[in-house]
Amino acid sequence: IAVHSAGFLHRDIKPANLMWAAAGQWKLIDFGSARPLSEASEQPLVGSVHCIAPEQFEAGLLDARTDLYALGCSAYFALTGCFAHPGENTAQVIASHLYPQITEIRSLRPDLPRPIAQFISQLCSRKPQDRPQSAGVALELLISHQLDTTS
């Protein structure tokens, strides 16, 4: 939330750039690709191919939802040990982002509560308009999903 509130996009959220801190919090590291929101779309193709949002491949408008997509891909990997968008080469991974057929996370992790799986799926949505509008909205959704983990 702090990165976006400061007017920046990270543009390289991936499992290797998320660090578990001793205080029980996730920390986002490596801001080498970060850019002000107003400049982020000028150089769209930045980041790890397994976590790049579809709009980056299409030279579309980048905003907070771009980072949220990468966060969803990272969460999917953290929970399953598999990339949401696999491929044997870069072209196959890109095609997987553009024409997604993501394996349902609960088929790999049936113990995962359905609301959490739905939250991750929403973050990984192909269309930016289907993702939360901001990191703050995503956090509110996550908190509400954590409160409803009876499924």
Catalytically active residues are 12
State how far the Cα of 83 lies from the Cα of 151, in Å rounded to an integer. 24
Contact present, 68 and 138 (Cβ < 8 Å): yes
Cα–Cα distances in angstroms (integers) from residue 115 to residues 29, 45, 82, 141, in the given order? 27, 31, 20, 10
What torsion, rounded to 10 degrees, do the Cα atoms 98, 138, 143, 25 define? 90
Q: Match 């044997």 to its residue by tokens.
A: 88
**Which stretch of DSSP H or E encloses residue 8?**
strand 8-9
Handedness of CA 83, 143, 123, 9 (dihedral sign): negative
145's tokens: 């999903």
